[in-house]
Structure 1
Amino acid sequence: MNGKDALGQDIDARIAAWLSAVARVTPDGFTPVARFDDVPDQARADSYYWCDSIFRSEVNPHNEALGARHALHAATDDTPDLLRHELAAGGLELTVTEGRNFVLVQVERSCLDILSLCGPDRAAAARRVAEAIFNTGIASNTVGVPSPSDAVVCPVPDEAPDLEEGTTVSSNPAVDPDLLACWKDRTECGVRGGRLYFLCYKKSSQRAGFANACQWF
């Protein structure tokens, strides 16, 4: 196995671990938050920062006009600290789950049943959702990566396999998430439990590596 293959396996394992950790938390494992100001200070500040960076204002979970429902889950032996935001905006029903190191956006099947579409239409639908939710005004500082001004493109046209249950594809698989200087330079897209999802890394030029996911609250 060469270094590139080993890196790919490490990244795949991290993504799988994050997705599995979120899935292990049952709905009643989240405690509703009536006032977001009651969320622990660091997590609250991080959430405001990353949601403002990643999302268009019209789908930002912290846009008060949307009336998002917020909840938190404190870490256990096999789950990390998590924040959850449930909202409807732009014809989409979204569940946004934040860990200390990632933002997971799940699109509910009630608004987009991705697996009911044929192969090419699935990728096109995923790109339309990405264009609708992600902030286009963030510049990239990652070495070797261009600074696109358009929306996050994932899956990449004509390059990604068909989106099937359990599939995960990357917008930029050549880039190591540990080295990202901007979340926009690599995102993941896939289908889990019949729902389309996007995974964004909470990475910036000021942040090296990933933090302890159980020490956020």
Structure 2
Amino acid sequence: MKWLDDIETAQSEGFDDLDGRADVPGQALAESRHWARTLFAQGKSPYDAARPVRRLVHRATKAAPDFLRHEYDVDDLHLSIVEGRSFVFVIVSRDSLDVLALPEGERAGAIARIAATLFHPVCVSGGVCFRFPERIEEGSFFSTNPDLDPRLLGAWQDRLDAGIRGGELVFLAYKRLPWMAGFADPFAWLREGERIDQKPRFRFPFRRSGPKRKRR
């Protein structure tokens, strides 16, 4: 998947520590906070005021787009969240949870419990909603709705992906808004640009602008 390749390219180029939120354009910060509230369960967001969070940034280059990275602990889990303009990629540190070290019969249940802990209950509440393969191993990929193209999602909760990558449990959530067509430009996120968190205003064709004429 190209987005994951972009993350690896950005990691090889390097992330810089943020001195403060002022280093991120106001609109990008507002979008990031909006999606944190939307995607994560209460108290699990990287913007939870009671939780220390290390924030880093990769500003777009010719090879990789803009990314924010949030590193923090939730309960006994250490998370690294790489956030692009159109998705959120959650990495659960292998040091805090090694799924592949569990017996095969326990892996799916452990993944479902972690998903229910981290994410908004719209999708994952009540247990397993992933379509797991017969065996969960390195390179396994699974989804709540694998037949639905991410570009055609009506809303973020229509599909949540997960897998095992480099021995670590990862989740991929898509930033989808019902009125969006496709995804916004990932190279133009960390500079002031168009807003994507509100419905666009449409003009009716052939309607003239300006004051109305009085009828005689």
Q: TM-score, normalised by structure 2?
A: 0.81
Asked if 1:170 corresponds to 2:143, the answer is yes
- Give the alignment partner of residue 59 of structure 1, picking from 44, 66, 71: 44
Give structure 1 regions of 4+ aligned residues with deviation exceeding 3 angstroms.
Answer: 151-154
Deviates most, 55-64 or 116-125 = 116-125
Match of 2:28 in 1: 43
Q: 1:49 to 1:87 in 2, by over 3 A?
A: same
Report sequence identity in percent: 39
CA distance in 1, matches of 2:180, 2:5: 24
Q: Which residue of 1 aligns with 2:208?
A: none
Distance 1:73 1:38 in 2: 12
TM-score, normalised on structure 1?
Answer: 0.81
Listed as ranges, the matches of 1:8-157 within 5 Å are 16-26=1-11, 29-136=14-121, 138=122, 150=125, 153-156=128-131
Q: Distance in 2 between matches of 1:58 and 1:26?
A: 28
- The aligned length equals 190
**Unaligned 5+ runs, structure 1:** 1-15, 139-147
CA–CA distance in structure 1, aligned partners of residues 130 and 188 of structure 2: 32
The alignment yields a C-alpha RMSD, in angstroms, of 1.9
Point out the structure with max Rg over C-alpha.
2
Query: Per-residue CA shift, 1:171-217, capped at 9, x if unaligned?
Result: 11122212222211101100111110000000021222111111111
Q: Does the 8 Å CA contact 2:85/2:189 hold for their aligned counterparts?
A: yes
Counterpart contact for 1:59–1:90, Cα < 8 Å: no
User: Tell me, which stretches of 5 or more residues in structure 2 are unaligned?
Assistant: 191-216
Q: Which structure features the higher share of helix residues?
A: 1
CA distance in structure 2 between the partners assigned to 1:206 and 1:54 by the alignment: 18
Candidates 136, 158, 161, aligned match of 1:185: 158
Task: Kindly indicate whether the alpha-carbon contact (under 8 Å) linking 2:115 and 2:124 is maintained by their aligned counterparts in 1.
Answer: no
